[in-house]
């Protein structure tokens, strides 16, 4: 096993191919698990793993790695993979590239909505939802709490603004704050 990276340093392309064959499936699976559904359309786990092997072979050829056994090699490749995925996620979630700001298009959105609405939540999911909701609501003052309650009851932003005698902008600002608090709390409706 330890001859594979050493063999590649000596330009043994067969050793490089064997090394890639041995680890590629495991590394692609690791990268796939680390990439969110939203980013899956932008990031290909196989592209990430190709970059991992380019980095590995470049540095291995220069003698920058001390690899004693198969376990060391596996850990190193996994660390490089996780690092590269995190860097790509950081890149694709920065400012205007943020995939979380995108909206899904077409029938997929409606199909997904129908799928979610057709399922009854489990008792555990109901309890978790209520706990998360109570955590978010506890951080609100009386006016934002009332705005949230009315919005959850189906009132539009304009209707809330009229009934509470506040501006539409205030309603939007409160709802944005609630979304931020929900995101921080890991709220999953």
Domain ranges within the chain, ordered by starting residue: 3-101, 119-184
Residue 123 has pLDDT above 80, yes or no: no
Residue 89 has pLDDT above 70, yes or no: yes
Residue 1 has pLDDT above 50, yes or no: no
pLDDT digits (tens, 9 = 90+) for 52-88: 988 988 888 777 877 777 778 888 899 999 988 888 8
Sorting pLDDT into bands at 50, 70 and 90, what band is 98? low
> What's the pLDDT at 165?
92
pLDDT digits (tens, 9 = 90+) for 128-167: 777 777 878 888 889 988 998 898 888 888 999 999 999 8
Name the pTM for this structure.
Answer: 0.47
Question: Can you name the CATH fold of 3-101?
Answer: Rna Polymerase Sigma Factor; Chain: A (1.10.1740)
| Class of the CATH-defined domain 119-184 | mainly alpha
Contacts (Cβ under 8 Å, ≥6 apart) of 189: 129
Q: Six-digit token pair at 120?
A: 């009854």
């Amino acid at each position: 096993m330890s001859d594979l990276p050493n063999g590649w340093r000596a330009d043994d392309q067969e050793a490089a191919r064997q090394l890639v064959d041995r680890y590629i499936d495991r590394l692609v699976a690791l990268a796939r698990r680390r990439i969110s559904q939203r980013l899956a359309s932008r990031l290909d786990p196989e592209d990430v793993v190709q970059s991992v092997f380019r980095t590995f072979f470049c540095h291995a050829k220069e003698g920058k790695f001390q690899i004693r056994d198969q376990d060391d090699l596996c850990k190193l490749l996994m660390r490089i993979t996780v690092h590269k995925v995190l860097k790509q996620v950081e890149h694709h979630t920065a400012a205007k590239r943020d995939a979380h700001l995108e909206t899904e298009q077409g029938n997929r959105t409606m199909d997904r909505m129908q799928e979610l609405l057709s399922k009854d939540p489990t008792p555990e999911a109901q309890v978790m939802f209520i706990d998360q909701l109570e955590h978010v609501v506890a951080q609100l003052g009386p006016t934002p709490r009332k705005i949230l309650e009315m919005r959850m009851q189906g009132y539009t932003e304009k209707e809330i603004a009229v009934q509470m005698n506040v501006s539409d902008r205030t309603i939007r600002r409160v709802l944005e704050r609630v979304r931020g608090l929900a995101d921080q709390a890991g709220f999953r409706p």
